[in-house]
Amino acid sequence: MQKQEFTITVYTENQVGLLNRIAIIFSRRKINIESLNTSPSEVDSVHRFTIVINEYEEVVRKLCRQIEKQVDVLKAYYNTNDEIVWQELAMYKVPTDVIAEEVKVERLLSQHGAKAVVIRKDYTVFEVSGHREETDKLIEVLEPFGLIEFVRSARVAIIKNSDGFHSKLKEFEYKEPGEHAVENEFLDKNQEVFSM
Amino acid sequence: METLELKKQKVEEVKPITISGSAAVLEAFLAEGVDTIFGYPGGAIMPIYDALYDYNNRLKHILVRHEQGAIHAAQGYARASGKTGVVFATSGPAATNLVTGLADAMIDSTPVVCVTGQVFAHLLGTDAFQETDVINITTPITKWNYQVTDAKEIPSVLAKAFHIAGTGRPGPVLIDITKNAQLQMIEYSGYEKCTHIRSYRPKPIVRKEYIEEAAKLINEAKKPFVIFGQGVILGKAEKEFTKFIEKGGLPAAWTIMGMSAIPTNHPLAVGMLGMHGNYGPNLLTNECDVLIAVGMRFDDRVTGRLDKYAKQAKVIHLDIDPAEIDKNVKATVGVWGDCKETLPLLTELIQQKVYPQWLKQFKDCTTKEEDKVIKEELNPSKDELTMGEVIKLLNDLTKGEAIIVTDVGQHQMVACRYAQMNQSKSNITSGGLGTMGFALPAAIGAKYGAPDRTVVAIIGDGGVQMTIQELGTIMQFKPDVKILILNNSFLGMVRQWQELFHQNRYSFVDITSPDFVQVAKGYYIDGQSVNERSKLKGALETMLNHKGSYLLEVKVGKENNVFPMVPQGRGVAEIVLCKEEL
Ligand SMILES: Cc1ncc(C[n+]2csc(CCOP(=O)(O)OP(=O)(O)O)c2C)c(N)n1
C-alpha cells in the first residue's frame, strides 16, 4: 500500500469550535492537511467539510473514525480521486497592458479556460477552475508576463456515488436510527462509496 | 447568532418563572440527580457561587484546595458511584488547573461535567483579567465542550452535557459560562433531560451477523482467552460478563482499568494483563487461538510490541466505540455495541464448555510466578518491608471489600497485582494517563460516591506530595479516607527503570519527604508511621478501625523492583520474572 491523495467529506452540525476539533485530529498525529474547505451542504443547517490529505488508506480510515466520534459530527466519508468530481478555483492578477500588447497571452489564457473577472486599466484578474495541475500550469505560463498575484482555493468535491445527505439525516433524527446511520464497515465494504 | 440550542428553546414554553442563569445551572444539577459538587470559587464564577448559597441544603459543595483536586475528586466520585462527577471552577488559572484531570478523565473514559466561569462575553478575546481560552485549551481532552454566552442556552446545554458525559463511551465535558450569562435573568420553564442528539450516537447498533461470527469462532476454539477492560464496568455489564465467561468456561484476564469487574478470586480469573501484570495472561496471549477482547482498547502497556502481539490468534473485539476496533489490533470479528447488549446475545450462542487443559496452563504459570516473584514479595525473607506484604495484610483485614484508590508508580502496580476485590468499582486508579497526585483527591471523591464503603488510598511518597494540600479538604469536610503511604524514599518506578535500563544511573529519583505524620497532625488528621514487620498488622488495624480519616506511613525497602515485567519494546511473551532474565 502506498500513500495517496484522499478526500474526506464530513457532514457536521454548525457549531463554533468544530473546525478546531476536527483540525487537531490531524495535527495531533502530525498529519498535514493539504486543503480544507468548509461550506454549507445540500441540507439546510448541515455543514460540509472537504479535507484533502496524502496518506495510507488505513490511516485515513482511522482518522475518519476519530472524526465521526466527535459529538457534533454527523458522518465522515473518504474517497480516492477517481471516486469524486473535484475542482479548485484559482485567480491570477496580471498587468493589463501586457495582455493588451501580446496577442499570445490572450490565446494562452483561453487555451487554459481562463475567464476575466475584473478588467482595470492597471491589471486584470482571471479565474480558472480545475484540478491542481491545470491551475499550476497557468502560473508557469503567466510568470513571464508579470504575474502580480496568485491564489488558489481549497478543493471542493462531489462524491460520484453518493445520494446526498437528505435521507441519511432523517435516519439520524430518529432516536433509534436504522442501519444506514450506523454503517458497519465489515458489512459495507462492498459499497462503492467508502464510508464507515 | 441563532444556535441550535436557542432554536430548540423556542418550542413549547409553559408558565415560565424568572431565574438567573446561575440558578438554571443549579436547577440542572438537581434535575440530573447531582448531590455533590467539587469546586473552588473565584471572580468569574461568583454569580454561580452566590446562587449556590441558596441551594446549600440541596447540593453539597466540597471546597477543595486546588482545582486539580476538584476534578480528580469528581473522577473518584464517578468511578465509585457510576454516576457523573461535577466540578465548579473559575476562569483563567482555575480552568487551566483542570487540564490534567480532564486529560485523565478523557483517556480513562470517566464521566465528569465541569462548569467553568468565564469573563463577560464582551471581554472575550481582549486578554481580560483571568481570561483564558479554555474551550480551545480543552478541546482535545474533552468529549465535548461548549461556551455559553446567553443564559437562555443553559438548560439545554447542561442537559446535553450530562447526556454526552454519561452515555456511550463516557468522558469529560466542559461548559464555560461567561459571567454575563450567569447574571442574566431568563424565563425558565423547567428542565428537560436530553435523550437524543442527532449527530451523536452513543451506541452503535448491534448486528447479529457479527455476534454469530464471533460465537462460531468461540465455539471452534481450543484455547479461547478473554481479556476485558473498564467497558464492562462502565457498561454495568458485570453480570452479563460473568455469565458469558462461565457458560463458555473462558479464562479471563483484566486490564488495570477492568479490574474488579469480576471478583479477583473468580475461578476463571487468571489475573492482570500489562507491563507489570501476571505472567500467565501475558505469556498465553501469544498462545491462545481466539482472543476475545471486551470493552478494552489495547493500550500499549497491555500489548507490548504490537507486531509480536497475539499474531497466532483470531481476535474478537467487542467495543462501544467504533474508533477502537482495528485501531491498534486488527479484529477478525469486530462486534460494535454496548457490551450489556452484545454479551447476552453472544452468551446465548456459545456452547457450554470447560477447558481443563488450557486452564491448567494458566495455573502452571501462576505457580511459576509464585515461586519466582510472589512468595518473596508477600512473605519476604528479608527484614525490609515489601509493598506486597502490606497489601496482603490489607486484604486479610478488609476481606476484599474496600475501594482501593492508587496513585502512580510501583505501589500502584503492586496494589493492583495483589489486592483482592470482591465487588465492582473497587479499583480506582489513573490507568491511561498515569497521573501522579491522582489518588488523594480521587479517594476523597470516592468516599462521597460510595459513602458506605471503606476507601483506602495507597500512595507513593512522591505522588502524595503532588496533591498533599487536599489533606485540607479532608480536615474541613471529614470524608473518612484511609491514607496509606508506601514510602520507599525514591520515585520508585523511575528508579526501577534507571536501575534496569539506565545502568543504575539514579538521576533525580532520590526524593525526600516531610514527616508525613506531623503534616497530617497539622491538618488534625491522626496517623502513624511504621517500619517494622511486627507493628505492621496492628498499624493497619488501627487505621481501618479509626473513626475518621487516618494516615499510615509504611517505610518499605528502598530498592525493591516490581516484577514480572514486559520490558518496553518487547512482546508480551517476552515477559521476565526477575532482573536476571532481562
Ligand atoms: C504527574 C506525573 N509526573 C511524573 C510522572 C512519572 N512517574 C511515573 S512513576 C513515578 C515515580 C512515582 O514515585 P512514588 O510516588 O514515590 O511511587 P513509587 O513508584 O515509589 O511507588 C514518576 C515520577 C508521572 N507519572 N506523573
Of B139, B322, B334, the CB nearest to A17: B139
- Is residue A137 located within the same domain as residue A100? yes
Greatest CA separation found in chain B? 76
For position B12, what pLDDT does the model report?
Answer: 57
- The full 3-state SS of chain A, as one line of letters, equals CCCEEEEEEEEEECCCCHHHHHHHHHHCCCCCCCEEEEEECCCCCEEEEEEEEEECHHHHHHHHHHHHHCCCEEEEEEEEHHHEEEEEEEEEEEEHHHHHHCHHHHHHHHHCCCEEEEECCCEEEEEEEECHHHHHHHHHHHHHHCCCEEEECCCEEEECCCCCCHHHHHHHHCCCCCCCCCCCHHHHCCCCCCEC
Task: Tell me, in angstroms, the distance from the centre of ligand 1 to residue B510's CA.
Answer: 12
Res A77 pLDDT > 50: yes
| A93-142 confidence digits (pLDDT tens) | 999 998 888 888 888 888 999 999 999 999 999 999 999 999 999 999 99
Mutational pocket test of ligand 1: of B72, B430, B436, the residue with most ligand atoms within 8 Å of the beta carbon: B436
- Is residue A9 located within the same domain as residue A80? yes
Q: Is B563 helix (H, G, I), strand (E, B) or coil?
A: coil
For chain B, domain boundaries: 13-188, 208-361, 385-559
- Residues in contact with ligand 1 by the CB-under-6-Å rule are B 407-411, 434-437, 460-463, 486, 488, 490-494
Mutational pocket test of ligand 1: of B440, B490, B491, the residue with most ligand atoms within 8 Å of the beta carbon: B491
For position B2, what pLDDT does the model report?
Answer: 59
Q: For a pLDDT cut of 90, what percent of chain B falls above it?
A: 97
What's the average model confidence in pLDDT over B1-27? Answer: 78
For position B7, what pLDDT does the model report?
Answer: 64
- Is residue A37 located within the same domain as residue A27? yes
| B415-455 confidence digits (pLDDT tens) | 999 999 999 999 999 999 999 999 999 999 999 999 999 99
B57 touches chain A (CB under 8 A): no
Count up the domains in chain A and report the number.
2
Q: The pTM is what? A: 0.95
Tell me the C-alpha distance between B213 and B545, whole Å: 52
Tell me the C-alpha distance between B104 and B88, whole Å: 17
For position B5, what pLDDT does the model report?
Answer: 65
For position B449, what pLDDT does the model report?
Answer: 98
More confident of the two residues A177 and B496: B496
Residue partners of B466: CB distance under 8 A and separation at least 6:
B436, B437
| Domain spanning B13-188: CATH superfamily | Thiamin diphosphate (ThDP)-binding fold, Pyr/PP domains (3.40.50.970)
Res B411 pLDDT > 80: yes
Res A196 pLDDT > 90: no
For position A189, what pLDDT does the model report?
Answer: 45
Q: Are strands B144-148 and A123-130 parallel, antiparallel or unpaired?
A: unpaired
- Is residue A71 located within the same domain as residue A10? yes
What's the average model confidence in pLDDT over B307-323? Answer: 97
Atom of ligand 1 nearest to the CA of B491: 13
- Give residue B562's pLDDT band: very low, low, confident or very high (50, 70, 90): very high
Q: For a pLDDT cut of 70, what percent of chain B falls above it?
A: 98
- Is residue A81 located within the same domain as residue A14? yes
Mutational pocket test of ligand 1: of B107, B408, B560, the residue with most ligand atoms within 8 Å of the beta carbon: B408
Atom of ligand 1 nearest to the CA of B414: 21
Task: Please report the residues numbered 324 through 353 in chain B whose beta carbons come closer than 8 angstroms to any beta carbon of chain A.
Answer: 326-327, 333-334, 336
- Is residue A80 located within the same domain as residue A169? yes
- Is residue A132 located within the same domain as residue A173? no
List the grid coordinates of B122: 464582551
- Give residue B343's pLDDT band: very low, low, confident or very high (50, 70, 90): very high
- Is residue A161 located within the same domain as residue A79? yes
Mean pLDDT of chain B: 97
Q: What is the CATH number of the domain that holds A94?
A: 3.30.70.1150
A43 touches chain B (CB under 8 A): no
For position A168, what pLDDT does the model report?
Answer: 85
| A1-38 confidence digits (pLDDT tens) | 899 999 999 999 999 999 999 999 999 999 999 999 99
Residue partners of B422: CB distance under 8 A and separation at least 6:
B263, B264, B265, B399, B400, B401
Tell me the C-alpha distance between B93 and B97, whole Å: 6
Q: What is the CATH number of the domain that holds A70?
A: 3.30.70.260
Residues of A with CB below 8 A from B210's CB?
184, 186
Tell me the C-alpha distance between B548 and B481, whole Å: 7
Task: Tell me, in angstroms, the distance from the centre of ligand 1 to residue B463's CA.
Answer: 6
Tell me the C-alpha distance between B428 and B420, whole Å: 13
Lowest mean pLDDT among B193-207, B294-308, B354-368: B193-207
Res A184 pLDDT > 80: no
B57 Cα distance to chain centroid: 30
- Give residue B177's pLDDT band: very low, low, confident or very high (50, 70, 90): very high
| B443-453 confidence digits (pLDDT tens) | 999 999 999 99
Residues of A with CB below 8 A from B209's CB?
187
- Is residue A98 located within the same domain as residue A168? no
Lowest mean pLDDT among A97-106, B190-199, B323-332: A97-106
Is CATH 1.20.1250.20 what the domain over B385-559 is classified as, yes or no? no
Res A45 pLDDT > 80: yes
What's the CATH fold of domain B208-361? Rossmann fold (3.40.50)
A44 touches chain B (CB under 8 A): no
Report yes or no: B400 and B245 within 8 Å, Cβ to Cβ: no
- Is residue A108 located within the same domain as residue A164? no
What's the average model confidence in pLDDT over B204-219? Answer: 95
Task: Tell me, in angstroms, the distance from the centre of ligand 1 to residue B128's CA.
Answer: 36
For position B3, what pLDDT does the model report?
Answer: 65
Cα–Cα nearest to B327, from A89, A3, A29? A29
- Is residue A22 located within the same domain as residue A79? yes
- Is residue A181 located within the same domain as residue A127? no
For position B356, what pLDDT does the model report?
Answer: 98
Residue partners of B53: CB distance under 8 A and separation at least 6:
none
Task: Please report the residues numbered 206 through 265 in chain B whose beta carbons come closer than 8 angstroms to any beta carbon of chain A.
Answer: 207, 209-210
- Give residue B4's pLDDT band: very low, low, confident or very high (50, 70, 90): low
Tell me the C-alpha distance between A95 and A93, whole Å: 7
| B44-84 confidence digits (pLDDT tens) | 999 999 999 999 999 999 999 999 999 999 999 999 999 99
For position A186, what pLDDT does the model report?
Answer: 42
Contact A72 B201 (CB under 8 A): no
Task: Tell me, in angstroms, the distance from the centre of ligand 1 to residue B507's CA.
Answer: 14
B136 touches chain A (CB under 8 A): yes
What's the average model confidence in pLDDT over B322-351? Answer: 97
Domain residues for A35? 4-85+157-194
For position B15, what pLDDT does the model report?
Answer: 82
Tell me the C-alpha distance between B310 and B432, whole Å: 22
Of B146, B198, B336, the CB nearest to A184: B336
- Give residue A179's pLDDT band: very low, low, confident or very high (50, 70, 90): low
Tell me the C-alpha distance between B186 and B193, whole Å: 18
Task: Tell me, in angstroms, the distance from the centre of ligand 1 to residue A86's CA.
Answer: 52
Tell me the C-alpha distance between B201 and B493, whole Å: 40
Residues of B with CB below 8 A from A16's CB?
147
AA letter at B154: I
Tell me the C-alpha distance between B178 and B147, whole Å: 8
